[in-house]
Structure 1
Amino acid sequence: MVSVQLMVKVVTCIPAYNEEKTIARVVIEAQKHSDIVIVCDDGSTDYTGVIAEKLGAIVVKHEKNMGYGAALRSLFKKALGYNPEIVITIDADLQHNPKYIPVLVKALEEEKADIVIASRVKGDETPKYRRLAVKTFSKIMGAKISDVQSGFRAYKASILKNIIPDVNGMEASIEILNKALERNYKIVEVPVPFKYKGLETSTLNPLVHGYNIISEILKSRIIRKPLTYLGIPGLVFIVTGLMSGLWVIKRYAEVRQLATGTAIITAILLISGLLLILTAIHIFTIKEYAKLSRVR
């Protein structure tokens, strides 16, 4: 008997947590534009997973709520098992409409991109404070991407294993882009309508969420350019420490009295500067070694 392997072009992945009100509409619409739809039921306490499964979606279930990044990790690993060409991610809350999946697929193919992001920044229904937050995060990240947090994306499946997130929270969207930027993957944005009206808002604490996102962005910038963000401040600390140290020595030579406070500050500056520079060199060396390993 000859086995026939079905050709899978598009797999749509949907992370979901307590989304029984909207999951059906998202799955049904996604199925129109995908060969396979996979839902990660991330520890839902409602009927999210049951509804998705009844509609024919493949459901990956977490026994407890593990977070957005953990859901994406499970979804990506499951999706790669079908050997697709393209993997789509879209949230289960219907803020993005799956009918726009073909728009992302077309952009991925025509632009020869590795990642296509559905940008929310120009959406008419995006609240001003949300738009400002998105722009702020994008600005801090330092990349030419207007919406670094959009969960509606298309990925070339061949790159997916290199950008699977390690973090479990919402900051996974940032981590994925950082990994992509590290490898110089081509990232393209397309404007897609985005709805807030009539939908429940996130249960995440906005301050905690913002802190986590900014922390991930700053961490990524340091990793991408360690000599800039650690080495230069370290050098400034050392130069400042040397100058204050010379002043302490000069003062002691003149009046035979040690400026204890300044001496302590000098020591802190010199030690901190040295640690920053050593850390920058260490991260830079690891990065270069990783690049050489990939080339080989």
Structure 2
Amino acid sequence: MPVFNEEETIGTVVMRALEHVDEVICIDDGSSDASARIAEACGATVIRHRVNRGYGGALKTLFKHARQMDVDALVVLDSDGQHDTNDIPRLLEPIMDGSADFTIGSRFVEGGGGTHMPAYRRLGIRVITATSNLSNELGIRDTQSGFRAFSARALDRLRFDAEGMELSLEMLEDAQEKQLHVREVPTVIRYDVPKGSNYTAVSHGFTVLSWALISLSQKKPLLVLGLPGIGLFATGAAMGLNVAQNVTNTLDTFLGDGLTAIWVGVLGLSLMATGLVLQGVRSLLRHLIVEHFGID
């Protein structure tokens, strides 16, 4: 589990987790409090970062260490007490029976939920999840849950670059590309813990949503650029027709509205053309990669 200044909760979480797993590994991500010492005293193996690298940086270190240990499975959960350690066996069951490579403790499948979950956070997660699902075919309902489990196969194949919270989406994108089987398992996540996430809902949401939109623009440029392009072109056309109908107005007004209609329409056409070109280039590159390297 990643740890950053969680001295109030880390001890309890470590001891409860040890009831279900063989070993607990804590990545102390530059904490300035006693988190690392408490985790060690409670039986965890602690790996320290000299500086705070972020959630993604902590998981990179965790994955590297798990591969070196040649583990059968890895469970990742938060150290602030939000996740119920009693659900660890539920996440591990599909991994151990071979029916899944990657499981997610989900708040939004039947049986899952969030106690005292703020409405704005629920809305934000829904928006991020919907955006993410436009760029992949996994159909995950809770892309932002940090309660996850991975098989040895997933640990060996998954690779990610993000250092921040956007890792949650990058990991799913990579899982689909590597043809890993992802399954959601119901869990209840608490929001009444003494010290919640170190990330504010706004900063977390903005960072992750930005990554999702960038990913979507790379995978479906026609959707991201083409639809706004059509909208702008239609707006420009409507403005042009309005100018034509009011041609009897003064010349200044005619020129001003007419020029606005022209540049809005041209911008729309440019976006549509860019979307078509990028979609074509992506399809061509995918075809070449499959044909010459056998990678799909």
How would you bin the TM-score normalised by the shorter chain? 0.7 to 0.9
| Alpha-carbon distance in structure 2 between the residues aligned to 1:238 and 1:46 | 53
| Mapped pair 1:136 → 2:127 | yes
Aligned-pair CA distance for 1:160: 2.7
- Contact 2:5-2:35 within 8 A present in 1 as well: yes
Aligned-pair CA distance for 1:17: 0.6
Residue 115 of structure 2 corresponds to which residue in structure 1?
Answer: 125
What amino acid is the match of 1:114?
Answer: D
| Alpha-carbon distance in structure 2 between the residues aligned to 1:57 and 1:289 | 48
Aligned pairs (5 A) from 1:117-266: 117-121=104-108, 122-123=112-113, 125-129=115-119, 130-142=121-133, 143-230=138-225, 236=230, 261-265=260-264
| Mapped pair 1:105 → 2:92 | yes
Residue 248 of structure 2 corresponds to which residue in structure 1?
Answer: none
Residue 76 of structure 1 corresponds to which residue in structure 2?
Answer: 63
What amino acid is the match of 2:70?
Answer: N
Identical pairs, percent:
33
Residue 8 of structure 1 corresponds to which residue in structure 2?
Answer: none
In structure 2, relative to structure 1, the CA distance for the partners of 1:285 and 1:40 (3 Å cut) is farther
Question: What TM-score do the two structures reach when normalised by structure 1?
Answer: 0.78
In structure 2, relative to structure 1, the CA distance for the partners of 1:125 and 1:291 (3 Å cut) is farther
Which 5+ residue runs of structure 1 have no aligned equivalent? 1-13, 248-257
Aligned-pair CA distance for 1:44: 0.6
| Alpha-carbon distance in structure 2 between the residues aligned to 1:202 and 1:263 | 48
- Contact 1:72-1:165 within 8 A present in 2 as well: no
| Alpha-carbon distance in structure 2 between the residues aligned to 1:57 and 1:242 | 63
Which 5+ residue runs of structure 2 have no aligned equivalent? 242-254
| Alpha-carbon distance in structure 2 between the residues aligned to 1:201 and 1:279 | 41
Question: What TM-score do the two structures reach when normalised by structure 2?
Answer: 0.78
Q: 2:33 aligns with which of 33, 36, 46?
A: 46
* Alpha-carbon RMSD: 3.3
The number of aligned residues is: 275
| Alpha-carbon distance in structure 2 between the residues aligned to 1:205 and 1:231 | 33
- Contact 1:69-1:168 within 8 A present in 2 as well: yes
Aligned-pair CA distance for 1:220: 2.6
| Alpha-carbon distance in structure 2 between the residues aligned to 1:179 and 1:110 | 22
| Alpha-carbon distance in structure 2 between the residues aligned to 1:131 and 1:51 | 32
- Contact 2:236-2:261 within 8 A present in 1 as well: no
Aligned-pair CA distance for 1:102: 1.3
Deviations, residues 127-170 of structure 1 (Å, cap 9, x unaligned): 24133333332223225222111111111221234433311111
| Alpha-carbon distance in structure 2 between the residues aligned to 1:227 and 1:271 | 12
What amino acid is the match of 1:45?
Answer: S
| Alpha-carbon distance in structure 2 between the residues aligned to 1:192 and 1:220 | 28
- Shift >6 Å, 4+ stretches: 237-244
Deviations, residues 236-275 of structure 1 (Å, cap 9, x unaligned): 489879989xx9xxxxxxxxxx965555445544444333
In structure 2, relative to structure 1, the CA distance for the partners of 1:195 and 1:207 (3 Å cut) is closer
